[in-house]
Amino acid sequence: MPELPEVETTRRGILPVLKNQKITQVVVRDVRLRWPVSPDFAGQLTGQKILDVQRRAKYLLIRLERGTVIWHLGMSGSLRVLPAGTPPQLHDHIDVVLGSGRLLRFNDPRRFGCALWTGDDPAQHELIAHLGSEPLSNEFDAAYLAARAKGRSVAIKQFIMNAEIVVGVGNIYASEALFRAGIRPKRMAGRIKRDELERLVEAIKSVLGEAIKVGGTTLRDYVNANGSPGYFRQKLYVYERAGEPCRRCSTPVRQIVQGNRSTYYCPQCQQ
């Protein structure tokens, strides 16, 4: 569910609530996440002060005095801030209770998310060490993309969804970025021309940036730290619009499958 804009929106929502707070209690109701929650997870966190909340790719990094929690929302996860004592509901797997009398609650119906404590540098963690560029950073540019795409036959849509190349671009924003750039999603990554890569880089940056500004995209169940949805859905040009007229040229939007994921594009605007 959450792509980079939704994770970043969550980060911005929880940071002011968590910063400088002491963790007074951690409740783990279900350890069966993508990786089992470690038996010492609660013990490692309890009593520590939260220093910062950062993001790398779609991972939230909760920096503590000693160590870091690496938190991923998977497909259906959300982190919300609630008053301590709020009764848990279905799929509320983890609570982090704060000295302020509030708590951070992790809900994840499909349990594809994870919460891992590490005492080492999170940048060196196996899940994070091999990640590609942050799309909103200056190092992500056409030269970088061209170098990585050289000689590769994978479809450009799957290429930009590959986190070893560029992080944070999921199924929604991949289709949307390719629409903005006017590129057909099935074209081979290595055959995209330089000026098209320039447009693609700008499209990825702009679509992610605009989505962050309005709190991300809510399709079904994504909510931010306050339980509010994101409003970028209204700005989607092609995603989940199969058969509907393209917002630019009125040609019906087409839906195909790539790597077991739905892709949407306009056969007129994208070549």
Partner DNA sequence: ATGGGCACCTGGCTGC
Partner DNA sequence: TGCAGCCAGGTGCCCA
Q: Is 2 annotated in the active site?
A: yes
The yes or no reply on residue 124 touching DNA (CB under 7 A) is no
The type of residue at 123 is: A
Q: Which of 56, 58, 180, 254 is catalytic?
A: 58
The span of 55-63, 81-89, 99-107, 207-215 binding DNA (CB under 7 A) equals 55-63
- 96 vs 156, beta carbon nearer DNA: 156
Q: Which of 49, 184, 235, 261 is catalytic?
A: 261
Of the candidates 17, 75, 136, 146, which one interacts with DNA according to CB under 7 A? 75
The yes or no reply on residue 231 touching DNA (CB under 7 A) is no
Q: Considering only CA atoms, which of 251, 245, 257, 237 is closest in space to residue 177?
A: 237
Q: How far is the CB of 263 from DNA (least distance, A)?
A: 9
Q: Is 235 annotated in the active site?
A: no
- 70 vs 181, beta carbon nearer DNA: 70
Integer Cα distance of 161 and 206 in angstroms: 16
Q: Burial level of 129, CB count in 10 A (0-12/13-18/19+)?
A: exposed
Integer Cα distance of 215 and 223 in angstroms: 9
The span of 54-62, 117-125, 134-142, 196-204 binding DNA (CB under 7 A) equals 54-62
Task: With H, G, I as helix, E, B as strand and everything else as coil, classify residue 11.
Answer: helix
Of the candidates 85, 90, 138, 195, which one interacts with DNA according to CB under 7 A? 90
Containing H/E element for 220?
none
The yes or no reply on residue 155 touching DNA (CB under 7 A) is yes
Of the candidates 5, 6, 41, 107, which one interacts with DNA according to CB under 7 A? 6
Q: How far is the CB of 193 from DNA (least distance, A)?
A: 17
For residue 29, the cross-strand partners are none
Q: Considering only CA atoms, which of 180, 192, 93, 182 is closest in space to residue 146?
A: 192
DSSP state of 203: H
Q: Which residues contact 143 (CB under 8 A, 6 or more apart)?
A: none
Reduced 3-state DSSP string for 138-185: CCCCHHHHHHHHCCCCCEHHHHHCCCCCECCCCHHHHHHHHHHHCCCC
- 98 vs 203, beta carbon nearer DNA: 203
The yes or no reply on residue 178 touching DNA (CB under 7 A) is no
Integer Cα distance of 31 and 18 in angstroms: 23
Binding site for DNA (CB under 7 A): 1-3, 6, 32, 34, 57-59, 72, 74-76, 90-91, 109-112, 127, 151-155, 158, 161, 163, 170-172, 189, 217-222, 259-262
Catalytic residue list: 2-3, 58, 261
